Amino acid sequence: MDFEWSEATRLWVLNESGIDFLRVADSLFDGRPILTVPSVRAGEERFLSVLCIEGNFFAVIWMWRNGVVRIVTARRARDGEEKRYREIFGQADR
């Protein structure tokens, strides 16, 4: 799977929160349970995916663009997002 992103955004998110798009991209479609919901913005079809990486929950906003997954941003999952994930998938251990 191919990924792309704004390098300026990746560096800003990495500096502000320590979350690297490289890390979440590798985990987004590796077969682990993820909770994905549509997140339409400005007429674009985007998705919010909540996933667990090494016991930490992350939310990734992404979209399909020309057959490539474009990561818009990533952040720590909010409490409600983590709670919903756990309701569906139980305890995460990956």
Answer yes or no: is 21 within a domain: yes
Give the number of domains in the chain.
1
- Asked if residue 9 has pLDDT above 90, the reply is yes
Per-residue confidence band for 93, with pLDDT thresholds at 50, 70 and 90 = low
Q: What is the CATH number of the domain that holds 57?
A: 3.10.450.530
- Put the strands of the sheet holding 3-4 in their side by side order: 3-4, 68-76, 56-65, 47-53, 34-38
Answer yes or no: is 7 within a domain: yes
Answer yes or no: is 67 within a domain: yes
The number of beta carbons lying within 10 Å of the beta carbon of residue 21 is 24
Answer yes or no: is 94 within a domain: no
Q: What is the pTM of this model?
A: 0.90
- Asked if residue 92 has pLDDT above 80, the reply is no
What is the per-residue pLDDT for 41? 80
In terms of residue numbers, what domain contains 32? 3-89
Answer yes or no: is 14 within a domain: yes
